[in-house]
Amino acid sequence: MKKRKWLIPVLAVVLVIVVLVASVAIKTLTFTSKQLSVSAKVSYPVNMDQAAGHLSNAIQFKTVFNVDTSKVDYSQFTSFQEYIGKAYPLVSSTLTKQVINGYGLLYTWQGSDSQKKPIFLMAHQDVVPAPPEGWKHDPFAGDIADGFVWGRGAIDDKGSLISILEATEYLLKDGFKPARSIYIASGFDEEVTGQQGAGKIAEYLKAKGLQFEAIFDEGMIVTQGDVPGIKTPVALIGTAEKGYLSIRLTAESAGGHSSMPPKQTTVGILAAAIDKLENNPFPIRMTGPAADLFEYAGPEMSFPYKMLFANMWLFGPVIESELASAPGTNATIRTTTAPTMFEGSQAENVLPAKSTAVVNFRILTGDTIQSVTDQVKSTINDPRVKIQPITESANEPAPASSTASWSFGILNKTIREVMPDVFVAPMMMIGSTDSFKYIGLSQNIYRFLPERLYGDDLDMMHGMNEKISIANLGEMISYYIQLIKNSDH
């Protein structure tokens, strides 16, 4: 009888497949939910006609901040703050109010237990410009129609500021007296740099040596349909914030007439450099907040997504390729490269003696301003290109706040109580917020705006027809009431 030499290798392959399948199945079955259980939906009997009216009035103040401060109408900020004082009489009479750097607001609600670290709530007063063309309702009229409050700032960020003030006024009227002190801050230039508002408030608080148990700012939102394999709404909490760096690229030559061009003009030199940067992206890193997102969202996914994310050790390359294929998800897993500005000759028939380009990088946690600069230099590798980081606007990535902290647990619990139909998941914040200025004042900084923005709703934030539903505004007020109460132990 002939020996079957092929039998042992075949059996070995079969065994490997069986073990692999079993491992995948076990990992999938043990990939259990991290969502907190809640007994019932929590809501409070807030006077929504009054609250909607307050937001409507707030929108009518044109608190637009501009890089060119000579164009800022500061009287709008002054009038808005005077209105806040009248609309929220208990806040005005009970909390200590300080005005920082002219227009930054800082309220202190003193708690009874000085041993407890205070919590910090934030929302900014300023809004981006809003030309009226194309709007269904005037962007600064604050119209209430069709179940919505319309206007610039309804979402970003007066809706949040008014909700915090409504919640505080409600609790004061209800006789609530906090054990843990509560600070409420509102900057006035978040949409530009945040330096004059939040930056100065942060300097003041640091000089006093204050430390906070948690800082809660605007940031990620409640979305639906954006997380693969989950049909229900997901509340995304920004536990970290990407850094910011722009690099100016410059190439110079003798210039001349376009009828006698060299082999490569300064524009061509920079175009080649930018092409290298775009075709050599920064590496993908599924660590930190990027990994946390799928640790929380993965168990809630339908098959086969749940199986894939439960077995990153096996399907990691497939998942990374899929995430990298869309701009939104790609931005959460790597430092991004975005050429944004290009300048050459001022005439079509003149060779540019000097051309410049600006490339913007949003830096993932784990990279630094220096490491990004070094990679740009090594990737371009052309002595004709001068590489200059624009340091005045640069920020290192914000450190990630833990999902295991008491503060994250309180935030998670509050969201689930007020919005029990919503799953909670941490995530990297790819934009910028005022909370960046408060790094060092707390180890627990979380960026979450309790607004339900589905599909194209996000386009309203700095676009046309910005609005918030009165129902969602009510949820936001209940969220802040419950967050304050849950934090008070």
Block means of pLDDT (10 residues each) for the chain, length 489 residues?
67 83 93 92 97 98 93 97 98 98 98 97 97 96 98 97 98 98 98 95 98 97 93 96 97 93 96 98 92 95 94 93 92 96 95 97 96 98 98 93 97 97 95 94 98 92 96 98 96
Domains contained in the chain, CATH given: 48-240+398-487 (3.40.630.10), 255-393 (3.30.70)
Instruction: Give residue 397's Cα distance to chain centre.
Output: 12
- Strands in 354-363's sheet, in edge-to-edge order, are 336-343, 354-363, 243-252, 386-389
Q: Give the model's pLDDT for residue 16.
A: 80
Quote the crossing angle between the two packed helices 470-487 and 158-173, to the nearest 10°: 60
- Torsion, Cα 434 437 440 446, to 10 degrees, reads 10
Q: Which of 143, 169, 190, 475 is catalytic?
A: 190
Residue 126 bears catalytic tag:
yes
pLDDT of the residue at 2: 55
Instruction: Evaluate whether 126 touches 133 at the Cβ level (below 8 Å).
Output: no
pLDDT recorded at residue 3: 58
**pLDDT value, residue 9:** 78
Handedness of CA 279, 283, 285, 289 (dihedral sign): negative
Cβ-proximal residues to 458 (8 Å cutoff; 6+ apart), any chain: 221
Catalytic residue among 126, 156, 191, 320: 126
Residue 392 catalytic? no
> Nearest-CA neighbor of 146 among 156, 155, 160, 136?
136
SS (H, E, C) 437-463: HHCCCCCCEEEEEEEECCHHHHHHCCC
Q: What is the pLDDT of residue 183?
A: 98
Whether the CB-CB separation of 36 and 412 falls below 8 Å is answered with: yes
